[in-house]
Structure 1
Amino acid sequence: MAHKGDSGAVARTVPAALRRRLLVVASVVVATVVTACAMVQWRNRDLRLAQQALTRGDPERAYQLVTAFLSEQPANTTAKALLARVFVSMGRPEPALQLFDDVGAATPEELHALGRALLMQSRWSDALPVLTRAVELAPTNADGLYELTSARLQLGLYKDALASATRFAQLPSHEPRGWVLIGSIEGDLSNYRKAADAYLRVLEYAPAAKNLQVRADELFLELGRMLLGAGTPAEAVNHLQRSIDILPSADGFVSLGVAQAELGELEAAVDAWTQAVTISPSNLVAREYLANERLQERDADGALQWLKPLEKSPSLKASTAYAFQRCFILRKEPKLAEQWQEKAAALREREKLAVAIENLLIEAPLSYWARVIRAHEFASAGNWKQAEAVLDTVTSASKDPFVDDLTSAVRNRSALPPLTRLPITQF
């Protein structure tokens, strides 16, 4: 008699033929499960290989693998997110954003790719929170930090941009490029000594200024300019000359001439400015310096020879117009002198507005009027969507005709109201 718990006895009560059939069925079930698991593992292997291809910089191979996977599993969200990243790596933001709209972005890699896709479309406001989160999740993501800094700069968030640039510069092997970024930001803020010091730090890591995001001649030119702005022309000369030695440029010769003039080397300065005009005949700054040198000698005709090509320049400055005025005063032509006096006054008003705008954008980038001006700048550059995004943050508080007209122009993609209508006294 079989006792409870006696498995052997129970087995003996089952007919042998039935036991064989049960074993066959069990074997088939096990084989089916094993095969299914193997297929899943094989398919997942394709995704892993696609990920590896993307990581090593081969998006075309990654595209082949992930699209093959999706042909069998079209609803797989992991594969769709990976395909979106592949599209970003291939420089195709539109299909990438469509996929991210479908499946979202959860991992640091996906968030970074989404942020990059938005940057590619110049959607700075949309990219900013995405890249911020991506960097929070992956603090050592060098590309993410660099792109976050770029987005912040585009939105005028200089303080935040400086913070992320500093973090970027602290990452191993990224120090020189990070200090270039810091120098550029400090220069935009008119912190000339800090900018110069940042560029000097670059040269500690890369003495020849190679393998940077700027050319070597550009780096030495910017360093020289910052040293000029910081009031150290003697220190600036060597770096400006080094820039010119690498690649002669009108800007390089103009700045070199300024440094030499400040050091009392006027003849050398005139030679440098003349070189600038030789390279770039329409260079306004060099011609104005050369004209002023002639005016110091009361040589009105000589000054006019330098100024005449600038007469109808759209980039004419108040100081240039004033130089014209002085020429005609010396030539005893009062009517022409008066005309240039009026033009100089009008240009001074325009420049006064430009300075007020620049100061506002730097000192209070999130203020009401700073956002309005930023929207106008985006629209002027043809970035209508970004202009709309910025205006969406201010129009609810709008009580100014300029803002109303700007909003209407942006929505209709029509002519923008001139910045001269800005109520400058309010900011």
Structure 2
Amino acid sequence: MAGPVAAVPRPQPPAPLGNRPFLRLAIALAFVAGASAAGLYAFVWWEERPLAEVERLLDAGEPRKALISVNRFLREHPQHGRGLALKARTLSASGQVDAAIDLYERVGAADPKDLHALAQALLHRQQWSAALPILKVLETTDLHKADVLHELAGCKSRLGDFDGALESAEKFSKQPGMEARGQLLLGTIHRDRGNLQQAATAWGDVLRLRPDAADLQIGPAEFFLEYGRVLYGIGEMTLAAEQFQRSLELEEAAPTLVALGNAQVQLGQVESANENLQRALELEPGALPPRVGLAQLALTQRNAEQAFEFLSPLQSSGEMTGEIAYLFQRIYTLRGDTAQATHWRDRADELRKSESIRNTTDQILRDSPESNWAHVIRAHRFAEEGNWDEAERILKPLAPTAPDQPFIQALDAAVKSRGTLPPLSDLPMVRF
């Protein structure tokens, strides 16, 4: 006979949530973690509120107030990464570019706004090679698109990449509301490259879009002057004179009066030319161009004494040119002073030789801007201007590859030591 059936245990109802110790602990921990995260977020938000105010002041074009605000914040949080980066951006916006660059070198610049501020500081210091890769990165973002393209075009142009500069300027001209400014930029690059006809075409388009030359990167008076100079350069004297007149209607300036006077000489309007050159000399008694123009007019009438009166202050000045030396030669020839005429003839020949060398290097920069010799010449120019860092940056990859080029080695050594530069006459392609 079968034994008794064992009683089957009845299933127990699930324990209430409150009786589950592990779940209760997990919920408690989750609550604590959530509360901690929320508290931490609130704490960070509260702590960084002044930095939001700094950003607002920068966006409003108030860098000085922004600098005061961020300095106040950093007194309490001296190692705050975002605060330090924001201070660097503020320094850049307020024109303290050296301090901005130094601070960015310490804390870095990862945010696009910081990268742009760093690039602008480098551009302000004319460190074109250092700014270029940053601007190329920024071009891939949507931050300040028009500004970045404009800066990129200028940076490439300064480094001799005219084709790249024109490409960036073309993109800039297609940004909303930037067509006229873009044509001005395109014309400037063409002019710097020596393509005056293309520059004149682009600047003609500027006036088609903005007949009064308003709201450009430069003022209307300056635009009309520069446009007139380009027209003068391609032989359009009447049109050039018209632009100079428009500039003078807005602002009377000695350089514009000289430019108009020179155009009037070419047009045969000698009396008007003389009046404008005299007025330029009144405005700037120490300026060279009006004196040269007036001396040339006097010599066309064989008036050696009047020409000498205009040029005599230049005899011992450091602004002597081949053209001025030749005018002195003509003056002394008319006076019958053979010895002085010979002296000034020799001086004119010497100065023209130097100017010819300069013209040759200009031609290399225009015609072969990407060649090694163009880079060398550009480095020499930067060093002449006192931009040693840029010169050194250009020469760094070149000098080791040219051990048999004495000029390059001498230039590299001079730049590194901030010493005397070798003369351009030592360049192999310009030796006489």
Q: TM-score range by the shorter chain?
A: 0.7 to 0.9
Q: CA deviation at 1:168?
A: 1.9
Instruction: Describe the shift of the 1:280–1:332 C-alpha distance in structure 2 as closer, same or farther (beyond 3 A).
Output: same
Q: Which residue of 2 aligns with 1:366?
A: 370
CA distance in 1, matches of 2:261, 2:192: 22
Q: Which residue of 2 aligns with 1:173?
A: 177
Q: Structure 1 residue 289 and structure 2 residue 288: aligned? A: no
1:117-160 CA-partner distances (Å, limit 9, x unpaired): 22233221111111111112338612212222232233233332
Q: Structure 1 residue 207 and structure 2 residue 211: aligned? A: yes
Q: Which residue of 2 aligns with 1:393?
A: 397
Instruction: Describe the shift of the 1:105–1:321 C-alpha distance in structure 2 as closer, same or farther (beyond 3 A).
Output: same
Q: CA deviation at 1:45?
A: 5.9
Q: Which residue of 1 aligns with 2:115?
A: 111
Q: Structure 1 residue 404 and structure 2 residue 409: aligned? A: yes
1:260 and 1:266 in contact (8 A); partners too: yes
1:54 and 1:62 in contact (8 A); partners too: no
Aligned equivalent of 1:148, options 129, 152, 155: 152
CA distance in 2, matches of 1:13, 1:311: 105
Q: Structure 1 residue 241 and structure 2 residue 253: aligned? A: no
CA distance in 2, matches of 1:53, 1:119: 23
1:66 and 1:82 in contact (8 A); partners too: no
CA distance in 2, matches of 1:26, 1:188: 67
The one-letter amino acid of 1:218's match is E
Q: Which residue of 2 aligns with 1:323?
A: 327
The one-letter amino acid of 2:364's match is L
Q: Which residue of 1 aligns with 2:3?
A: none
The one-letter amino acid of 2:298's match is R
Q: Which residue of 1 aligns with 2:138?
A: 134
1:167-192 CA-partner distances (Å, limit 9, x unpaired): 22222233333333223222222322
Q: CA deviation at 1:343?
A: 0.9
Q: CA deviation at 1:225?
A: 1.3
Decide which moves more: 228-237 or 407-416: 407-416
The one-letter amino acid of 1:11's match is P
Q: CA deviation at 1:67?
A: 7.0
SS of 2:218's equivalent in the other structure is: coil
Q: Number of residue pairs matched?
A: 422
Q: Which residue of 2 aligns with 1:159?
A: 163
The one-letter amino acid of 1:227's match is L
1:88-114 CA-partner distances (Å, limit 9, x unpaired): 223333454345435543443332222
Q: CA deviation at 1:358?
A: 0.8
Instruction: Describe the shift of the 1:34–1:224 C-alpha distance in structure 2 as closer, same or farther (beyond 3 A).
Output: closer
Q: Which residue of 2 aligns with 1:261?
A: 265
Aligned residues: CA RMSD: 3.4
Aligned equivalent of 1:382, options 380, 386, 395: 386
Q: Structure 1 residue 354 and structure 2 residue 358: aligned? A: yes
SS of 2:342's equivalent in the other structure is: helix
Gaps in structure 1 of 5+ consecutive residues: none
1:47 and 1:66 in contact (8 A); partners too: no
Aligned equivalent of 1:336, options 336, 340, 346: 340
Q: CA deviation at 1:83?
A: 4.2
2:112 and 2:143 in contact (8 A); partners too: no
Q: Which residue of 1 aligns with 2:125?
A: 121
Q: CA deviation at 1:417?
A: 2.4
CA distance in 2, matches of 1:421, 1:30: 74
SS of 2:16's equivalent in the other structure is: helix
Decide which moves more: 19-28 or 317-326: 19-28
CA distance in 1, matches of 2:75, 2:377: 46
2:399 and 2:408 in contact (8 A); partners too: yes
Instruction: Describe the shift of the 1:13–1:37 C-alpha distance in structure 2 as closer, same or farther (beyond 3 A).
Output: closer
Instruction: Describe the shift of the 1:292–1:47 C-alpha distance in structure 2 as closer, same or farther (beyond 3 A).
Output: closer
Q: CA deviation at 1:355?
A: 0.4
Q: Which residue of 2 aligns with 1:218?
A: 222
Q: CA deviation at 1:353?
A: 0.4
Q: CA deviation at 1:198?
A: 2.7
CA distance in 2, matches of 1:15, 1:291: 107
Decide which moves more: 23-32 or 151-160: 23-32
SS of 1:167's equivalent in the other structure is: helix
1:87 and 1:96 in contact (8 A); partners too: yes
Q: Which residue of 2 aligns with 1:418?
A: 423
2:66 and 2:90 in contact (8 A); partners too: no
2:70 and 2:87 in contact (8 A); partners too: no
Q: CA deviation at 1:34?
A: 4.0
CA distance in 2, matches of 1:28, 1:367: 67
CA distance in 2, matches of 1:397, 1:29: 61
Q: Which residue of 2 aligns with 1:198?
A: 202
Instruction: Describe the shift of the 1:2–1:19 C-alpha distance in structure 2 as closer, same or farther (beyond 3 A).
Output: farther
